[in-house]
Amino acid sequence: MDAKIIATRPFDGQRPGTSGLRKKVKVFRQPGYLENFVQAIFDTRADLKGGVLVLGGDGRYYNRHAIQIILRMAAANGMSKVLVGQGGILSTPAASCVIRKYRTQGGIILSASHNPGGPDADFGIKFNTPNGGPAPETVTEAIYARTGELDSYRTLEAADLDLDRLGEVKLGAMTVAIIDPVADYADLMESLFDFTAMRRLFDSGAFKMRFDAMHAVTGPYAIEILENRIGAMPGTVMNGKPLEDFGKGHPDPNLAHAKELVAMTKGADGLDFAAASDGDGDRNMILGKDCFVTPSDSLAILAANAHLIPGYQDGIAGIARSMPTSQAADRVAEALGITCFETPTGWKFFGNLLDAGRITLCGEESFGTGSDHVREKDGLWAVLFWINLLAARKQPVARIVREHWHGFGRNYYTRHDYEAMDAQAAGDLMDYVRRLLPGLPGTKLGDYRVEYADDFAYTDPIDGSRSGGQGLRIGLEGGSRIIYRLSGTGTQGATLRVYLESFEPDATRHNWETQAAMRPLILVARELAQIETRTGRTQPDVIT
């Protein structure tokens, strides 16, 4: 089979965002669009030729079709082998695990994460480097630059392969190995956590839990690990069958989109533990009876308790959190005498710190938590960590959280999102606030005195690379913060995220409901950025 050269043209806007290239399926369907991006990956990654690649996705609409296209192109570009998850399925953390375990030259992950799926919804693609992590900005910029120069791509004339049958087949000179998408990942989890103690918890019969896979990719992983290996009751995993449109749902595990699950944790008969993951399996939401654990608190609590978990019993080297994530983890790091790094939003910024052994745990406020076991955030990992913790401490979730606050203080936290805004208005709003920043320190916003205000920029401590424009950060007296940032994953207009944090050192004094506790700060943030006058929005679309 000879490679065919097909003429194409560059497309506008193929610059990867926070987490790869995300667009509507309709955009990806334009002739040559997906091919253009994939050819740019092959052209900029010289070691792929003759190398091995991992390929899989979250199972959403267009996943299988894209895999067939990419396989033909991989063969025509001289790859020796591609490992594909059976049925085209690989959760994002599982893909990272497989890339690392088999020392491949990288992987292509097909996902638009928590964005809805279907013919009228979203699709996405990203390249992960041999460390198993999302490509750093130097790599994504090189790929982007190449997408603008291409005038042709290489492919083979060949029929679609059967993605459902395990085993190896040839495509031209290239081997395609259809692998079990779950086994390697499940083995890794078993090596980190005390499955025996967790099994005892389930065997006791007194521990009621549900995991909501939201008809996204984690269903098969959760069933294998929770039900088959740990012995949770069949049916513990809800919505466990991956569907191309996620059952028309929004596979985003948060209070707004996993309402059914949240309701199951309420009241005396409520579940003891509930959790959910997103479209591609890298996010997690943690709930206890009448208790929601904010992702920022979750990171801090995992860090403070890591020594109780077999995989981390020797302690942790350091922690990192994305800039808008609350500073709860900083307090734990301080107590442990380790560093807490503050990085820009997006998992790619954790890669160097993890590779260098400077951090063991990392997380984002956006329901992302992970460790050095892979180079992606990992939804099920966080869920297993929590179950292991509950088994070790023999306490309910709410008690663990409360004790944490009593020991470290409480970082009240909320994020307000204004979605599908006019891009111009959103950009103007950001420009307006950016111009205010230099004048803010020392002045008062409502009752809060401003300590610092800047446009967050990050210098990677390992390779010295610099990333600017990562969000407008206003630090207030007493550890409160307001942050404004535009999303880099949306596919429609602009999304403004307003991140709010306020610190209560003596958590025994109050136990307020978050939105009520943060009301004054919320109003200050709206007013400062003139959100209503500039955008016409009186309320955010999503509050998490």
Round the CA-based radius of gyration of the chain to a whole number and report it.
23
Tell the smallest beta-carbon distance from residue 346 to ligand VG1 (Å).
Answer: 5
Q: Does residue 388 interact with ligand VG1 by CB under 6 A? A: no
**273-302 binders of ligand VG1 (CB under 6 A):** 278, 282-283
Q: Does residue 346 interact with ligand VG1 by CB under 6 A? A: yes
- Among 122, 272, 280, 372, the residue binding Co ion under the rule CB under 5 A is 280
Extract the tokens encoding 49. 């030729």
Tell the smallest beta-carbon distance from residue 416 to Co ion (Å).
Answer: 20
Of ligand VG1, Co ion, none, which one does residue 475 interact with (CB within 5 to 8 Å by kind)? none
201 SS3 class: helix
Q: For tokens 């090596």, what's the residue?
A: 191
113 an active-site residue? yes
Q: Which of 250, 323, 255 is nearest to 515 (CA)?
A: 255
Strands of the sheet with 494-504, listed across from one edge:
444-445, 448-455, 472-476, 481-486, 494-504, 410-421, 542-543
Query: Would you give the binding string for Co ion spanning residues 102-131, x where CB under 5 A is met?
Result: -----------x------------------
Task: Look at the chain and count its residues.
Answer: 544
The residue (of 64 and 283) whose beta carbon lies closer to ligand VG1 is 283
How many other CB atoms are found less than 10 A from the CB of residue 138?
A: 9
Distance CA 480, CA 172 (A): 59
The residue (of 16 and 479) whose beta carbon lies closer to Co ion is 16
Instruction: Indicate the residue type of 241.
Output: K
Distance CA 197, CA 190 (A): 12
Angle of the 379-393 helix axis to the 92-101 helix axis, nearest 10: 90
The residue (of 48 and 276) whose beta carbon lies closer to Co ion is 276
Q: Does residue 272 interact with ligand VG1 by CB under 6 A? A: no
Render 498-538 in DSSP notation, one character per residue. Answer: EEEEEEES-TTT----HHHHHHHHHHHHHHHTTHHHHH--S
Of Co ion, ligand VG1, none, which one does residue 36 interact with (CB within 5 to 8 Å by kind)? none
Q: Does residue 347 interact with ligand VG1 by CB under 6 A? A: yes
Phi and psi for 302 in degrees, rounded to 5? Answer: -60, -40
Q: Which of 355, 390, 397 is nearest to 375 (CA)?
A: 355
Distance CA 331, CA 27 (A): 45
Instruction: Indicate the residue type of 148.
Output: G
Q: Does residue 364 interact with ligand VG1 by CB under 6 A? A: yes
The residue (of 21 and 174) whose beta carbon lies closer to ligand VG1 is 21
If 0-12 CB within 10 Å is exposed, 13-18 middle and 19+ buried, where does residue 403 land? Answer: middle
- Among 122, 137, 252, 278, the residue binding Co ion under the rule CB under 5 A is 278
Of Co ion, ligand VG1, none, which one does residue 489 interact with (CB within 5 to 8 Å by kind)? ligand VG1
Q: What is the number of the residue whose Cβ is closest to ligand VG1?
A: 113
Q: For tokens 């307020």, what's the residue?
A: 512
Query: Would you give the binding string for Co ion spanning residues 230-269, x where CB under 5 A is met?
Result: ----------------------------------------
- Among 488, 493, 517, 534, the residue binding ligand VG1 under the rule CB under 6 A is 488
- Among 19, 129, 284, 343, the residue binding ligand VG1 under the rule CB under 6 A is 19
The residue (of 109 and 223) whose beta carbon lies closer to ligand VG1 is 109
Contacts of 269 (CB under 8 A, 6+ apart): none
The residue count for binding ligand VG1 (CB under 6 A) is 18
The catalytic residue among 19, 91, 96, 113 is 113
The residue (of 263 and 457) whose beta carbon lies closer to ligand VG1 is 457
Distance CA 308, CA 11 (A): 51
The residue (of 115 and 305) whose beta carbon lies closer to Co ion is 115
Binding site for Co ion (CB under 5 A): 113, 278, 280, 282-283
Catalytic residue numbers read 113
> Where on the chain is the footprint of ligand VG1 (CB under 6 A)?
18-19, 113-114, 278, 282-283, 322, 345-347, 364, 366, 368, 487-489, 497
